Amino acid sequence: MIRAFLFTLLLTPLFTKAQVVLRDTALAWQHHDFVLNEDHSMMAYTTRDDEITEVMFSTAKVIENELIKLVVVPEYGGRVISFVYKPTGHEYLYQAECGSPYGIGDGNFYYNWLMVYGGIFPTFTEPEHGKAWLLPFDFTVEEETSERVRIRMVHTDETDFSEAPGQFNNGMTNITCQVDVTVDQNSAAWDFDVTLINNNSTNQNYEYWTCTTLSPGSEIGETGSPLSSKIIAPVNDYRAAWSPGSWIGDYGSLGDFSSIDELEEWDDMGIAYADEISGNYWGVINQENQEGIIRISENVETPGLKLWTWGRNNVNNDLFDFSNGGADNYIELWAGTSLEFFSDAFLSGNETKT
């Protein structure tokens, strides 16, 4: 009891002076060269490793207190791209060192291609990264005091890509996605609150998933999850979806969650879903340095948990090598309003869901 009292006494002066700060920043990123059509489909791309474009996100924001620093990129998918824990100086979110377009023409993604950047971001109104992962969100500051900063990123689905693969069939939904990111004084926890608004007077089918690309305990600028990284979730069984050679199981079959809860247990890339979440948390622990990131939610509106990794053989790949196609060592966990991809949820006319 005496030690606890002294510890509190010593930290009090630091905490009382701490403030939450919001500031502008510019963020540079690199990817292999490509050119898009106006509808965001792929027009042309390079496979040469020396043809790299640097892009600048000039409207990025920093939100920080004495414990954490977030970097938010409204103009590229409304994402939180960085979460640094100051006491250790480590990064908790994955960021691709160099992006590569992949899956071009394979029919797996809405625009018939994808590129990994990383972070935490909303995906809607279709599955598999949805429509908005590369689109700008409107940005506003909702609250800014020394005790709290809350920012808002908003995007309304008005996209109807005529060449989308057939399974992406929700059409233009006119659903608004609103993401509020909040940082409080003296807290290492922060909020990522999502509101979906059906602007139609009629019922609307859709999918929504929050994608989290996690690599807690990483060195800044060299993000990645060691093979011993462990997925923490109150889950007994998983349902197998797709994997090369069905190594994770035949589609729809059940498996023991403990057999895939560490990255080194993933023989290859793959998709699995939690059969049932029995608690209000999930996340990833870096067992090499005992740092982790945990999502806390009642999971009433988001009963789905999707799991993905590139597999244990994709560790510290050279992402400037186009042939790697974005494959790297991070753990991707998704929170969904449905239980699996290509299984719609529904909003009634003018309904709002948070």
Report residue 273 as tokens.
């879903």
Report pLDDT for 17.
60
The token duo for 66 is 């004495």
The pLDDT, as a whole number, for residue 216 is 98
Q: How confident is the model at residue 1 (pLDDT cuts 50, 70, 90)?
A: very low
Q: What Rg, from alpha-carbon coordinates, does the chain have?
A: 20
Q: What percent of the chain has pLDDT over 70?
A: 95
What are 196-211's pLDDT values in tens digits?
999 999 999 999 999 9
Domain coverage including residue 211:
2-353
Q: Which of 24, 298, 331, 316 is nearest to 149 (CA)?
A: 24
Q: For 12-38, how does the pLDDT look when each residue is reduced to its tens digit (9 = 90+)?
A: 344 446 899 999 999 999 999 999 999
**CA–CA dist 2, 75 (Å, integer):** 50
Q: What pLDDT sits at residue 14?
A: 44
The residues facing 70 across adjacent strands are: 63, 83
Separation between Cα atoms, residue 139 and residue 85, nearest integer Å: 24
pLDDT reading at 6 higher than 90? no
What is the signed CA dihedral for 110, 193, 270, 36, rounded to 10 degrees?
Answer: 30
Of 110, 135, 17, 108, nearest to 66 (Cα)? 17
Mean pLDDT of the chain: 95
pLDDT (tens digit per residue) in 62-116: 999 999 999 999 999 999 999 999 999 999 999 999 999 999 999 999 999 999 9
What domain count does the chain have?
Answer: 1
Residue 48 pLDDT exceeds 60: yes
CA 291 to chain centre: 18
Count Cα neighbours of 183 within 13 Å in the Cβ-side half-sphere: 29
pLDDT of 235 > 90? The answer is yes
Q: Residue 339: which CATH number?
A: 2.70.98.10
The Cα 62–Cα 67 span in angstroms is 13
Alpha carbon of residue 320 to chain centroid:
22
pTM of the model: 0.94
Predicted confidence band of residue 269 (pLDDT cuts 50, 70, 90) = very high
User: Which pairs with CB-CB distance under 8 Å and at least 24 residues apart come from 48-57?
Assistant: 48/322, 49/320, 49/321, 49/322, 52/98, 52/320, 54/28, 54/29, 54/30, 55/28, 55/29, 55/30, 55/31, 56/26, 56/27, 56/28, 57/26, 57/27, 57/28, 57/29
Q: Is pLDDT above 90 for 10?
A: no
Sorting pLDDT into bands at 50, 70 and 90, what band is 8? Answer: very low
Q: pLDDT for 281-321, tens place per residue?
A: 999 999 999 999 999 999 999 999 999 999 999 998 999 99
Residue 54 has pLDDT above 50, yes or no: yes
Give the integer Cα–Cα distance in Å for 297 and 54: 37
Task: For residue range 168-191, list pLDDT tens digits in order.
Answer: 999 999 999 999 999 999 999 999
Q: Cα–Cα distance between 308 and 313 in angstroms, integer?
A: 14
